[in-house]
Amino acid sequence: MKAFLLPLILLAAGAADAATVVQSADLPFSFSAASTAGLGVIIPGEYFTATVSPFDTSLGTLTGVTVTWDLSGAYSGTTGPGGGGFSLSYSGGFFVNDIAIADPNPASVTGYVQGGGGGGNGGGPSTPVSGTFSASMPFVAEVQTTDPAYAVFSGAGPVKVDWDIPIVYSGVGDVTTDFSITGGASLLVTYTYTPVPEPASALLVAGSALLTLRRRR
């Protein structure tokens, strides 16, 4: 699923202070099946895709980009005659225009692969089971200025941001019936920048300089 983002927050404390622009998106998902027989990937990784606007360079100088993903959901079902259990898991990396966001850890060569989590439950014969699953914490990718992905955020076109995390089902024991999950992922893209001086600020600086010059004379 693709989502298109609009700027949410614009904060500027002054010409010399850092400011931020935040874009956000929510990506809901759901899945249901009369039987879990043969289930594997139930939500494909390419589902978690959003399109953001690049940084507006007329605002100032871009100094940082942060990509934050989070995910949570709920599940329910009924165990088979012999009882059983199941689990949901997900893990994957962060991408920008199909470029993996490099992990500052030199040991990693596949981008940020820390974005994972899961949940599960079980019970006796023909027992309703339910529960929730979520990421242990929001997964934050600080895009390094030397990363090829960094330049994409200040380019001319839209920026595609992906969290490639297929949600995978696995079961133990008898087949679970009336299985369903619902949930959602959320995305924040934060641009940190140094604003250009506002015209009034520029005139004030110029006036102060002129006043100092006159005093010296």
In the block, which residue shows the tokens 């012999």? Answer: 82
pLDDT, average across residues 167-196: 91
Helix (H) or strand (E) holding 178: strand 177-195
Phi, psi of 211 (to 5 degrees): -65, -40
| pLDDT above 60: residue 217 | no
Determine the pLDDT at residue 216.
Answer: 46
The string of pLDDT tens digits covering residues 103-153 is 665 544 444 445 577 888 888 899 998 988 887 677 888 888 888 889 999
Which residues in 18-158 belong to E strands, given as ranges?
Answer: 19-35, 41-43, 49-52, 60-78, 84-96, 99-100, 115-123, 128-135, 139-143
Q: What are the residues facing 177 on neighbouring strands?
A: 35, 78
Determine the pLDDT at residue 203.
Answer: 45
The string of pLDDT tens digits covering residues 5-37 is 444 444 444 445 889 999 999 999 999 999 998
Confidence of residue 3 (pLDDT cuts 50, 70, 90): low
Confidence of residue 101 (pLDDT cuts 50, 70, 90): confident
| C-alpha separations of 35 from 81, 122, 129, 182 in Å | 13, 15, 14, 16
How many domains are contained in the chain? 1
The string of pLDDT tens digits covering residues 31-54 is 999 999 889 999 998 889 999 999
Buried b (16+ CB within 10 A) or exposed e, 162-193: bbbbbbbbebebbbbeebebebebbbbbbbeb
Determine the pLDDT at residue 82.
Answer: 87
Determine the pLDDT at residue 199.
Answer: 65
Task: Kindly report the number of other CB atoms within 10 A of residue 153's CB atom.
Answer: 22
More confident residue, 95 or 211: 95
For residue 203, give the DSSP letter: H
Structural domain containing residue 12: 2-216
